[in-house]
Structure 1
């Protein structure tokens, strides 16, 4: 009977067992064989580091590394973990270049706590919380809205410059300074990160990694044969590009292709647009950017300190200008009263006294307008002085002709003209017995 039933089963198709067998492989798929990766609260965090850190958040990824917010298990400290992609070719350079970062301890530099290539390559560093912008957390200067107001731009660039100054004093250069590498604290304190990674990027076998960002690259990045090797002045160039972008909202060297940007940066005859052409209120910075973004390193600021000193001088000049503006308003009021008093004078003595006061006030106004480069008002004031001089009229006429030329050619009042004007004003005052 058994054989007979067996024989029948060979002759008849039996579809029932097939679906049973098909279902069986699905059932054991419920319990995973290696659940470690699936149970990670933050996907992509290296499981090899779970003994030391509790991953909290994935912060971002660039061409070189992933970054995580994590809690250090031994003491509960919140840190940032950068997991770089390096290979055998770059591992030794990684340790050499990054350990230089461990020497840096400054309020404007991200603190590096630890670095290793085992069990996986990682950097443990200070966690920088970011700044709130319209309800959104912005972690780096790259994501911060630009242009910024002048006061904010100066606060940011001074902080970045102070961080560079500290690093340069130890012979450490960044070489890839850009807004993405400047993290922001909640009070907008800038902190420079990723020291030493530019050199590793240059050695990387990945073709897309160049070790610098083209839009912020210095001429010596792109054409070392012509412009020499990178050094501290390379950081100064990149500081200049960042400062320009903060003030204007634009980059000094832009283009639709890499080749176009390359050409503008390396061509000595190409000139970037001065900030004053974008915003006339920024004219005072034109000279500073001429030195920050000089194509030849020898023509740039030779140190961060030199740049900071120029910023201080500019601040002093601006403060003096603000004081002069107030003085001008007071002098205009005094002049109006003096002219009225002169018209009402009834005695020769009273006339002489009020005339002297008018001449003295006009002289002060002329010098203030010259210093403020307010040429139209200067010309009007010199024209008013014509009525109070005979002996100095030829020199006064020459001065007026010079001012008219400056207005026509849109040139600033020079120091030489300023000195000659002081002598002329003094002579007219003496002529009037002042």
Structure 2
């Protein structure tokens, strides 16, 4: 056990002291903040160039009034279209809206013309079309002698109010969206982290074997001790990185809330249960505020520990297999490509199932996959924000632990033979023989 610890310590310290690890660990949360700030900037910034647009409306369809955006100034002119084009050439205006007559009060299609050599921005075009559409609607109502208030009363705003049967389970109308996004992010993160650190174990084993360093190491410790030391050491590196990110998450949350103008302190009553979730969410004027409410109300005491467990169990299973593949590779590093495919397939397959589980977390595919080892390490974390039944989580945890132990044992059998095998290209048939080698 002491020898395993020595290898673990070496693998761990070598990596955490690396500048790349430090920069990646610290810059990733910063990158998230920059991304959030960029989203806020993009959402709040449209075309800010002030434009003066003449409106040629001979039939007074718009009633000499058109309001859209602050940066758009509309001037109604009785001058001819040709005269207004001269104003454009003199750069006194930025464009001309030509409003044709509405010949049919029941027409469902209307086309106006915009004269300019410069195109309008998409949001400007949409704003103008929306404003003209409202004007035409009012014009039609007057022509058809329809009272606008009566017509407005015919419209009904229909929305769903989620009502749970279990008293201890509170949801709001936006819970599904937040759960889907959180599940998708966790699923992708689990896939890339397990793959990244699993590949690190394989590369480390391959380098030591090709450079003949392993021959020196094996003289003082057993192959199993060397393999487990590497797997545990690299796994602790991943756990350290995730731990730092989890510590920084509240900071990211607070800064993100500030960027969107949300005060997290005002949402503290949610955790005390004094105010119903739906009342809090619906009192917010902004949907972004509701999203932050839902994020804070998530069952993090269940999600975080189980996510860490699935990372560790999934990592041990896959990294042990990657270590076995690394030990089987000879002088040619390209040999690893053909051997890694069977290990990569369930990992990639589970990611695609996870994507499906985001949309349908209770589908048969998602439920069964979350309880099948090798798939559950990614699929179940995707389902956790949706509060799956406890018995499904229990089956998933037990089966994954048992199967991970089996895979570590299986990989160790291959590793002990392959790590000292040179000059022989390993096939899957050869690997199966190594499992039953004695000694």
TM-score of Structure 1 vs Structure 2, range by shorter chain = under 0.3
Specify which structure has the higher proportion of helix.
2
- Give the structure, 1 or 2, with the largest relative contact order (CA under 8 Å, sep 6 or more): 2
Taking structure 2 as the reference length, the TM-score comes to 0.20
Rg comparison, structure with higher value: 1
Taking structure 1 as the reference length, the TM-score comes to 0.20
